[in-house]
Amino acid sequence: MKTQQAPEFKVAKTIKLGVGPKNGREFQGALKAKGIQIYSWVPDILQERDWEVAKEETEIDLYFASTGELGFEHKPTREKVYQRVEELGYDKCPYEAVPQLVLQWDNQPLGSYYNFVTGPICVQGVDGPGTLILTTSHHTGCSRSLGCHYETDKDRWYEDVIWIFVKRKKKAD
C-alpha cells in the first residue's frame, strides 16, 4: 500500500433513504419497472435479506474512490479494501443504499461499473463459500443493472475499480 496522508474524499452522490419501496420484494418491482436489469443472486438477496429500510426519509452522502485512490498500488483483496475504507473514517453502505442509488441515479455514466462496500453477503458458490459484492453498471447497448460479483479469498482488485461507501457517523458523547 502507498504511504500517504489519508485522503479526504468529496461527496459523489446524495440519495434519499426511506422513500419508495419498503422491502426487498418492492425494491425488485421498482427496479424492474424502471427497466433496470437484475442479475445473478440479486433477486434472492432482495427477497431474503433482512432489509433495514429507513423509517423516515433521510439523505445520505455517498463517496466514490478507486482502489488506487484508497492507497493501494498492488491488487488488494476485498477485505483489505474494506479495512482501508474504515481506517480512513468511512463506513459500509446500509443495504438500502444499494437499490436506492440504482433507482435514483438516472444519469449513471455509460460504461461505468461500481462496487458497493456493504456488510458481508456470504453464499455457497460452485467453488465453495464466498462473498457477494453488490455492483451497479451501465454498459453500452444495455440498460443499467444491479448485480453481484462472487468473490473468493483469491480475488484481487485492480487500481481503477471504483468503490462506494459512506462517512462514518460520529458517536454521540
Residues 118-130 pLDDT 10s: 877 766 555 555 6
Grid cell locating 65: 474512490
pTM of the full structure: 0.86
Sign of CA dihedral 149, 152, 153, 157: negative
- CA dist 126 and 145 (Å) reads 23
Long-range contact pairs involving 149-152 (C-beta distance under 8 Å, separation at least 24):
149/115, 150/40, 150/41, 150/123, 150/125, 151/78, 152/125, 152/127, 152/128
- CA dist 60 and 12 (Å) reads 11
Residues 69-110 pLDDT 10s: 999 988 998 889 999 999 999 999 998 999 999 999 988 888
The position carrying cell 444499494 is 98
Q: Given pLDDT bands bounded at 50, 70 and 90, which one contains residue 3?
A: very low
- CA dist 147 and 137 (Å) reads 8
Residues 24-42 pLDDT 10s: 889 999 999 999 988 877 8
